[in-house]
Amino acid sequence: MRGVEFIAFIIFLMRSASGWSFGSWILPKVDSYNPYCFVKECCNKDWINFDREMLSKNLKGRVYGQPLVNNVVNALAAHFSPHYEPRKALTISFHGWTGGGKNYVANFIAESIFRKGAKSKYVHQFIGRLHFSEEAKVEHYKHNLVQWIKGNVTYCPQQLFIFDEVDKMIPDVLNAIKPMIDHRDNIEGIDYRQCIFIFLSNTGAQLINEHYLDMYKEGRNREELALGDFDDYIKRGAFNEKGGFFQNDNIKSDLIDHYIPFLPLEERHIRLCIKDEFVLRRVLNPSAQHIDAVLKIVQWGPEGTKLFSKTGCKRIGAQVGLLTEQYYRKNEL
């Protein structure tokens, strides 16, 4: 008997013989009596269980300047509702400038559903320029993508598929998944309705920014905005701009459930990002001088203004790391 299997067997016996606590270590309750699932990830509620409170806390406390992102919590709660089965796979598309937090939020979603977070074997991440960039291979990409999704959903119906850099993908690839995200009970005996598909893209960003700038000038607060204020702008940008959603059948057929705009960040949001990066490096009270030094690397826009960061919070971490080693860590040596 291999080591992992032996440990699992012992834990299984402990559960059967006692109230199944071991000292201060409280063993998780497991739906299945398969002892393998005590130590290895399985397709059950002990490993896959949406934590609404965790996601809400992370989005409100660690994502800055993106109040519309909080709609994701309700979208996921509805998808995982115990009161009714979803009619289709949940599809969410994030759009906005780079550095606005799209990947950050996708990671929080994975953490709120899977015990192993983004490292779960039920979480699959694709990158446009890495996995789907050669036009000559479009049919090859489509076939492999369908087979990958089909094989994994056959094994476990609760899967998360994240497509990053959709704007760098060649068109037509994502048309292949249309049957899987459509309103169908099953396809060839496989039910995809418990799956979640998340798309991350820069397409539509310019339209989002221009529309938000108009509302900003009108005095509208970003905290008061609704998804409906941006829905048409995002769909138009995604459908007409170069990228994976260009003239896409999924958009034509209204199969994307939620379009989430990531708004351009203001200086007040960038300052919060900077402070977070210092805290991650155990610098709890960075000097105002060092915060201002990091702000100097930020590019601002629109042209001739300093309203919004063109790159969001990107590059912030590298600059904070440099200052931390230069001015704070030397005191620890």
Are 241 and 278 within one domain? Answer: no
Q: How far apart are alpha carbons 171 and 226 in whole angstroms?
A: 29
Output the pLDDT for position 237: 96
Output the pLDDT for position 304: 82
Residue 195 in any domain: the answer is: yes
Question: Could you tell me which residues come within 8 angstroms of residue 159 by beta carbon, excluding any fewer than 6 positions away?
Answer: 122, 123, 124, 149, 152, 153, 194, 195, 196
* Residue type present at position 161: F
Quick check: bond before 157 cis, omega within 30? no
Q: How far, in Å, are 69, 98, 205, 218, 264 from residue 222 at the CA level? A: 12, 18, 16, 11, 10
Window from 15-19, 43-47, 208-212 with minimum mean pLDDT: 15-19
Q: How far apart are alpha carbons 246 and 172 in whole angstroms?
A: 8
Are 113 and 32 within one domain? Answer: no
Are 249 and 323 within one domain? Answer: no
Q: How many domains does the chain have?
A: 3
Rg (CA), the chain: 23
User: Where does the pLDDT of residue 2 fall: very low under 50, low under 70, confident under 90, or very high at 90 and above?
Assistant: low
At 71 the three-state DSSP class reads helix
Are 133 and 105 within one domain? Answer: yes
Last residue of a domain, one of 216, 235, 262: 262
Residue 173 in any domain: the answer is: yes
CATH number, position 222 = 3.40.50.300
Are 236 and 290 within one domain? Answer: no
Residue 209 in any domain: the answer is: yes
Output the pLDDT for position 30: 44
Are 185 and 274 within one domain? Answer: no
191-225 pLDDT, tens digit per residue, is 999 999 999 999 999 999 999 999 999 999 999 99
Are 104 and 245 within one domain? Answer: yes
Q: How far apart are alpha carbons 50 and 47 in whole angstroms?
A: 10
Residue 288 in any domain: the answer is: yes
Which of the two residues, 31 and 162, has the higher pLDDT score? Answer: 162
Residue 310 in any domain: the answer is: yes
Window from 32-36, 63-67, 89-93 with minimum mean pLDDT: 32-36
Last residue of a domain, one of 262, 295, 315: 262
Residue 44 in any domain: the answer is: no
Q: How far apart are alpha carbons 295 and 271 in whole angstroms?
A: 8
Output the pLDDT for position 4: 53
Output the pLDDT for position 173: 97
Output the pLDDT for position 1: 53
Output the pLDDT for position 327: 83
Are 179 and 289 within one domain? Answer: no
Output the pLDDT for position 39: 87
Residue range 293-312: average pLDDT?
92
137-149 pLDDT, tens digit per residue, is 999 999 999 999 9
Q: What is the DSSP string of 218-246?
A: TT--GGG--GGGTHHHHHHHHHHSSSTTT
Q: How far, in Å, are 212, 242, 250, 307, 311 from residue 233 at the CA level? A: 11, 15, 16, 21, 21
Residue 45 in any domain: the answer is: no
Output the pLDDT for position 65: 96
Are 21 and 133 within one domain? Answer: no
Are 140 and 14 within one domain? Answer: no
Is the pLDDT at 20 greater than 90? The verdict is no
Last residue of a domain, one of 214, 238, 262: 262
Residue range 228-255: average pLDDT?
96
State what percent of residues in the chain have pLDDT above 90. 83
Are 190 and 84 within one domain? Answer: yes
Pair of tokens at residue 212: 């938000």
Q: How far, in Å, are 175, 177, 230, 265, 286 from residue 314 at the CA level? A: 31, 31, 24, 11, 19
Output the pLDDT for position 97: 92
Residue range 297-311: average pLDDT?
91
Residue range 218-243: average pLDDT?
96
Rounded to the nearest integer, the mean pLDDT of the chain is 90
Pair of tokens at residue 140: 């090859």
The reply to whether the predicted model has a pTM over 0.85 is yes
Is the pLDDT at 21 greater than 80? The verdict is no
Residue 126 in any domain: the answer is: yes
Output the pLDDT for position 36: 84
Is the pLDDT at 29 greater than 50? The verdict is no
CB atoms within 10 A of CB 291: 16
β-strands 21-22, 25-26 pairing: antiparallel
Are 217 and 127 within one domain? Answer: yes
User: Where does the pLDDT of residue 34 fall: very low under 50, low under 70, confident under 90, or very high at 90 and above?
Assistant: confident
Output the pLDDT for position 38: 87
At 135 the three-state DSSP class reads helix
Q: Which structural domain range is residue 249 located in? A: 52-262
Residue range 251-271: average pLDDT?
97
**Start-to-end Cα distance in the chain:** 49
Output the pLDDT for position 330: 64
